[in-house]
Chains A and B, each alone.
Chain A
Amino acid sequence: MTGRASTAPGRRVKRALGQAWERLSQGESGSLPVVLGLVLLWAVFQGLNGNFFSPRNLSNLSVDIVGTGLIAVGIVFVLLIGEIDLSVGSVSALAAAVFAVLNVNEGLPEWLALVIAVLAGALIGALHGFFFARFGVPAFVVTLAGLLAWNGLTLYLLGQSGTINLDDQGLVAKLTSYYFHDIAAAYGLAALGAAVFFLAACRDRRRRKAAAMPYRPLREIAVRTGLIAAVAFAAAYVLNQFQGLPLALLIFVVLVAALDVLLRRTPYGRRVYALGGGVEAARRAGVRVAWVRVSVLTVSGTMAALGGLFLASRITSVGQPSTSGILVLNAIAAAVIGGTSLFGGHGRTWCAVLGMLVIQSISSGMALLSIQSALQFMITGGVLLAAVVLDSVSRRSQKSRGRA
């Protein structure tokens, strides 16, 4: 709701710039730093190795971000209420194991095994939420217990076989191997995204105008839409240079957009944010705190299970959950690097996408340059630290301004 209308263009620009600066210094920097960081990162990698921007590399990157990215979206929900979920790595491994055992070992149809695996994740999340909300055990302790317990259950399920290979032509394998080769798919998605944004902004503008309230000038809406369309069509162009729109990316983008609407445009989402901004204030306003907490951890468990299936799909096998430790850290790092506050109440689902792009770009760029993973971890750690410092500083500056 920046940029109020109906002044001379010059003054308007000045005012918009002023407001942008105001927001920045008030700790509402949002995603601007990570977007700038990402551009910088890409410029450096492209400078060092011309293959970074190759359609193949970018297309693979866009599929590689999906598994962990879905998990990170769940983490965004949990961070928004000022909590943390440490179990997501284990839950995602367990969901993949549940799917593999039911489908491969027990012969259940794929769709049914998939639904059960996702429901298992939801149920586990709800269970965590119940212990957190009902007994007041901090969420990080409950989910730490979950991390261990679900890891154990996964080991038990995979017991005899150790590793289970999935059908590489199956439904789950297709999640990350299917591409819409028709170039209309990628361009269509880009056009749809821009059109929806434009129409929603126009509708908002019309209603505000009708109610005699400040509204965004048409030119500003056009510029914003243009920006979104430019990014979306550039991405679509690159994807079409390789195999077309990946199914995984389509699912990811649609889910992230839908959950963004849920968080920012519905009363439920408003209450999620409210919990992060003051649990007691929310409770006094009549928000059913326990219920919101349970629901948020349920979302986190569900997204972890979904992410686990995408990760299994990428390697078409389900093995011992040895990597779930780094997985949960990557998911949390993605959410935070993308601009979600660790202190609760600030962030969007798109943060998970941006953060995953940063993490995956580092990993992919380093691989192209044949740099060891030791350095890769250290750099990702440095980026995370920078994001957290930025978060703390902006929260603090906001506080000191407010109390002044």
Chain B
Amino acid sequence: MSDPPLLALRGVSKRFGAVHALDDVELEIHTGEVVALLGDNGAGKSTLVKVIAGVDPADRGVMEWDGRAVQVKRPHDAQALGIATVYQDLALCENLDVVGNVFLGREVRRVGILDEVEMERRTLGLLAALSIRVPDVRLPVATLSGGQRQTVAISRSLLGEPRLLLLDEPTASLGVEQTAQVLDLVERLRDRGLGVLLISHNMGDVKAVADHAAVLRLGRNNGFFDVTTTSQEQIISSITGATSHARRPPRTGEAGP
């Protein structure tokens, strides 16, 4: 491949005390590609997302953006590159309304004063474009249901034209219809040329939208698969550890064991 990947992680490691949450992890995401990140509970998926998003930077390792090494030490650094994140937990401020949450950290202002009208208008536009229904964008998110919050978190991440979207179990708290909507959205974003990293426990979701699947096991790479040519059983067995794959799967030798 001649184009450098949108995002590449090389030898990323992170420890929490004695726990090796991430150990020498490699990952590549190209534009217009959905990569599913799979792994058992505690495999390090959320930790990896937080490393990329600059929330909890790695201890070691290199992060490349468009082929250039970059430093992402703060959430702001990641946002500036065009990385948007939907976290598994603690994503929203309970007391702020939907508009406040969507624009938190990126408030629109006129002569130093918040431009509430403009922010509300753009929030409504964003929600409409994603066909998301929220009872009232001026209600505090504490009053919204789990699914509604998730949709708010997703629309929040799409503000400001990101190039890479990290979704940490975005459908976990959603119903059937909303899940389908989110997956639809993921496909549309991919077609628009975004790179997407999708964490999910649902193999159906992965099969439906992902191009590639990267498996983490106990903080290490445990396989990188082409979803269209790999059987579900194969992927599951590398998640559970029934099969062990090369620790650093070269991108060209994707097709499994």
Contacts and interface: CB of A to CB of B under 8 A. Distances in A.
A277 B113 contact: no
B140 A28 contact: yes
Interface string A256-279: 000001000111001101101110
A270 B95 contact: no
B153 to A, nearest CB: 9
Contact of B105 (A28, A266, A287): A287
Contacts of A273: 93, 95-96, 100
A134 interface: no
B224 interface: no
Contacts of B106: 286
Contact of A286 (B76, B87, B121, B144): B76
A213 interface: yes
Interface in A221-268: 261, 265-267
A401 B114 contact: no
A213 B114 contact: no
Nearest to A280: B90
A211 B125 CA distance: 12
A210 to B, nearest CB: 9
Interface in A254-312: 261, 265-267, 270-271, 273-274, 276-278, 280-287
B229 to A, nearest CB: 36
A266 B117 CA distance: 14
B205 interface: no
Nearest to A211: B121
Interface size class of B (residues with CB under 8 A): 35 or more
A404 interface: yes
A376 interface: no
B85 interface: yes
A215 to B, nearest CB: 9
A275 to B, nearest CB: 8
Interface in A181-201: none
Contacts of A284: 53, 55, 75, 85, 87, 90-91
Nearest to B137: A1
A31 interface: no
Contacts of A286: 74-76, 79, 105-106
Q: DSSP class of A's interface residues: helix, strand, loop or mixed?
A: helix
A315 to B, nearest CB: 39
Interface in B96-151: 96, 100, 104-107, 109, 112-114, 116-118, 120-121, 124, 138-146, 149
Given A270-B107, A286-B76, A398-B143, A213 B120 contact: yes
A128 interface: no
B59 interface: no
A204 B95 contact: no
Interface size class of A (residues with CB under 8 A): 35 or more
A220 B230 CA distance: 63
A208 B137 CA distance: 14
Contact of B104 (A28, A265, A270): A270
Contacts of B120: 213
B117 A398 contact: no
A346 B100 CA distance: 14
B9 to A, nearest CB: 19
B94 interface: yes
A401 B143 contact: yes
B63 interface: no
Given A278-B93, A398-B142, 13 more contacts: A208-B117, A270-B96, A273-B95, A274-B100, A277-B142, A278-B92, A282-B104, A283-B55, A284-B85, A284-B91, A286-B76, A344-B95, A403-B146
17 contacts: A204-B117, A266-B114, A271-B104, A277-B95, A280-B90, A281-B92, A282-B93, A282-B104, A284-B85, A284-B87, A285-B75, A285-B105, A286-B75, A286-B106, A398-B140, A398-B142, A402-B145
Of all A-B residue pairs in the complex, the 7 with the closest CB atoms, nearest first, are A277-B93, A345-B95, A277-B95, A286-B105, A285-B105, A267-B107, A285-B104
